[in-house]
Amino acid sequence: MLDIAFAKPVLPRSGALVLLVGEGELPTGLWEHANSATNGAISRAFDAAGFTGAKGKTCTILAPGAGLSRVVAVGLGKRDALTRRGLEEAGGHALAGLSRDGTASLAADGLSAEQAANVALGAVLRSYRFDRYRTKEKPEDKPKLTELAMLVDDNAAATAAFTPHEGVAKGVFLSRDLVSEPANILNPAEMARRCEALRELGIEVEVLGPGELQKLGFGALLGVSQGSVNEPRVVVMQWHGASGHGKKAKEKSLAFIGKGVTFDTGGISIKPAGGMEDMKWDMAGAGAVIGLMAALAGRKARADVVGLVGLVENMPSGTAQRPGDVVKSLSGQTIEVINTDAEGRLVLADVMWYCQQRFDPAFMVDLATLTGAIIIGLGHEHAGLFSNDDALANKLLAAGLDSGEKLWRMPLNDEYDKQIKSDIADMKNVGGRPGGSITAAQFLQRFVNGKPWAHLDIAGMAWSSKDAPTRPKGATAFGVRLLDRLVAEHHEG
């Protein structure tokens, strides 16, 4: 991960320099000093490029003089309209222009300590790279920048402000790593082992193996896994940030639950071959929950939180679940499995029931790459939000806007519920093509018991084919920062 160092605002004598420029502003501070030291090269370049500091616009000046290898100017837009998200994106734009530089400094003079920390977070998030399997990459193709010096008036306060952001960034990186891993490496057992590493952060981790799951009655989850030689796991992670370990909690825990299908062939209802390689990230919901727990512990969040992930592999074989099978879930409700490729909801049904029976949380939020239908409806701009609780839904919507991980609320009602009525069991696991993401949520709601609950269908958001300001293309870790904001804004004392 990119190292961030905060220092006093002194013009560097070498390396690259980033200038954050407000729209329509005149040169001040380090910008003015750098322009003077380069005999006006910066202002001339701005005029030639038509750079005015408009939000998201950049201007790069190569070898401007004064020992600088380049100057990268990033537009902030209007200063009075600056937001946390805008500052993070500015940091991301800056980092994108610095990958070939060995040393770089960013002029954050004029920003508050918290604003500078937000810029630094954006730069760190954009610096992510998953390259552990690249053995023949040329040195010139690798990014050279390992440390970014943030030049800010109150560097001590900025350092303190950045510390919790760094914990969140590590959680995001963990989630991206998990989602990026190939399925031959990251099977359910291996994913559970990586969860166990969170004990170093003070998180209690408990792994339930296949024998325990059988004894407890996880019939829906076990049905999904029975075609694979890779046996299932359920991992329970607890962070006692409010009550402390061994102390009685004053309030109920918050619960986050993730679908962790480490590879999804569709089972007997097998998927088409084209694009099936993408199904290594059908565990992105679980990856987000694991990253969230690491983020909360990393920044010492003052909240009691439990994270649960159901880890399975969905494979076709002689032992695989068949269309038409009936399974008995942990709740006692029976499910007719019409389509074995609608497996994530079977996993979540048992894990959600177990969560509320064991922990009785204040609310439950589940994340899952659940349906292709949500991509048809919302594309790759919003995740689908389904909830039985308006207050929880509104908090999530606001946290999504604040973090840039946007949600769009979708409907739930009894008319959709009729589509999953089974002729031979309590319900069936699919309701046909109409409203596919909605009927999937209706299915999950049958395992909620009236508990405040939200379901985030992140199928369109877990992976990106293009860069964004605070992330390169690939695994996005969608949900980590969203839910961290939810906890920080509403559930910390």
Predicted confidence (pLDDT) per residue in 44-79, tens digit: 999 999 999 999 999 999 999 999 999 999 999 999
Q: What is the pLDDT of residue 245?
A: 58
Q: What is the pLDDT of residue 305?
A: 98
Q: What is the pLDDT of residue 493?
A: 72
What's the pLDDT tens digit per position in 201-248?
999 999 999 999 999 999 999 999 999 999 999 999 999 999 875 566
Query: Could you tell me if residue 255 is inside a domain?
Result: yes
* Backbone torsion region of residue 67, taken as left when φ is above 0, otherwise alpha when ψ lies between -120 and 50, otherwise beta: left
- Does the annotation mark 271 as catalytic? yes
Query: Could you tell me if residue 278 is inside a domain?
Result: yes
Q: In this structure, are 175 and 131 located in the same domain?
A: no
Q: In this structure, are 83 and 178 located in the same domain?
A: no
Task: Say whether pLDDT at 137 is over 90.
Answer: no
Query: Could you tell me if residue 162 is inside a domain?
Result: no
- Average pLDDT of the chain, as a whole number: 96
Q: In this structure, are 104 and 180 located in the same domain?
A: no
3-class DSSP assignment, residue 404: coil
Instruction: Identify each DSSP E strand in 244-321 by its residue range.
Output: 254-264, 304-314
Q: What is the pLDDT of residue 321?
A: 98
3-class DSSP assignment, residue 84: helix
Query: Could you tell me if residue 426 is inside a domain?
Result: yes
The C-alpha torsion from 217 through 343 and 425 to 232, rounded to 10°, is: -20
**Catalytic position from the list 271, 328, 409, 451:** 271
Task: Say whether pLDDT at 141 is over 90.
Answer: no
Q: In this structure, are 288 and 435 located in the same domain?
A: yes
Task: Say whether pLDDT at 83 is over 80.
Answer: yes
How many residues belong to the chain? 493
| Residue 350 backbone phi and psi in degrees, to 5 | -70, -40
Task: Say whether pLDDT at 249 is over 70.
Answer: no
Query: Could you tell me if residue 453 is inside a domain?
Result: yes
Question: With pLDDT > 90 as the criterion, what percentage of the chain qualifies?
Answer: 95
Looking at 134, 156, 178, which one is the last position of a domain?
A: 156
* 265 vs 465: CA distance, rounded Å: 21
Spatial CA neighbour of 189 closest among 235, 226, 222: 235
Q: In this structure, are 277 and 388 located in the same domain?
A: yes
**Catalytic position from the list 57, 70, 170, 345:** 345
Handedness of CA 21, 27, 31, 37 (dihedral sign): positive
C-alpha 352, offset from chain centre: 20
Q: In this structure, are 306 and 264 located in the same domain?
A: yes
Q: In this structure, are 188 and 60 located in the same domain?
A: no
* 396 vs 42: CA distance, rounded Å: 43
The label of the residue with tokens 């910008």 reads 31
Handedness of CA 64, 67, 73, 76 (dihedral sign): negative
* 341 vs 315: CA distance, rounded Å: 10
What single DSSP character describes residue 323? T
Amino acid at 100: R
Averaged pLDDT for residues 173-181: 98
Q: What is the pLDDT of residue 140?
A: 79
Q: How many domains does the chain have?
A: 2
3-class DSSP assignment, residue 329: coil
Q: In this structure, are 124 and 196 located in the same domain?
A: no
Looking at 122, 156, 190, which one is the last position of a domain?
A: 156
Q: In this structure, are 107 and 203 located in the same domain?
A: no
Residues forming beta bridges with residue 334, ordered by sequence position: 328
Task: Report the CATH number at residue 192.
Answer: 3.40.630.10
Residue 122: which pLDDT band, with cuts at 50, 70 and 90? Answer: very high
* 143 vs 482: CA distance, rounded Å: 28
DSSP-H helix ranges across 181-283: 188-196, 210-216, 219-225
C-alpha 94, offset from chain centre: 21
User: Which range marks the domain in which residue 325 is found?
Assistant: 167-490
3-class DSSP assignment, residue 242: coil
Query: Could you tell me if residue 219 is inside a domain?
Result: yes
Q: In this structure, are 236 and 151 located in the same domain?
A: no
Q: What is the pLDDT of residue 248?
A: 64
Averaged pLDDT for residues 401-430: 97
Query: Could you tell me if residue 236 is inside a domain?
Result: yes
Q: In this structure, are 291 and 416 located in the same domain?
A: yes
Spatial CA neighbour of 225 closest among 261, 249, 251, 255: 261
Q: In this structure, are 173 and 55 located in the same domain?
A: no
What's the pLDDT tens digit per position in 424-454?
999 999 999 999 999 999 999 999 999 999 9
The label of the residue with tokens 């979540």 reads 348
Looking at 156, 179, 213, which one is the last position of a domain?
A: 156
Q: What is the pLDDT of residue 402?
A: 95
Q: What is the pLDDT of residue 139?
A: 83
Spatial CA neighbour of 71 closest among 56, 86, 61: 61
Task: Report the CATH number at residue 146.
Answer: 3.40.220.10
What single DSSP character describes residue 86? H
Query: Could you tell me if residue 161 is inside a domain?
Result: no
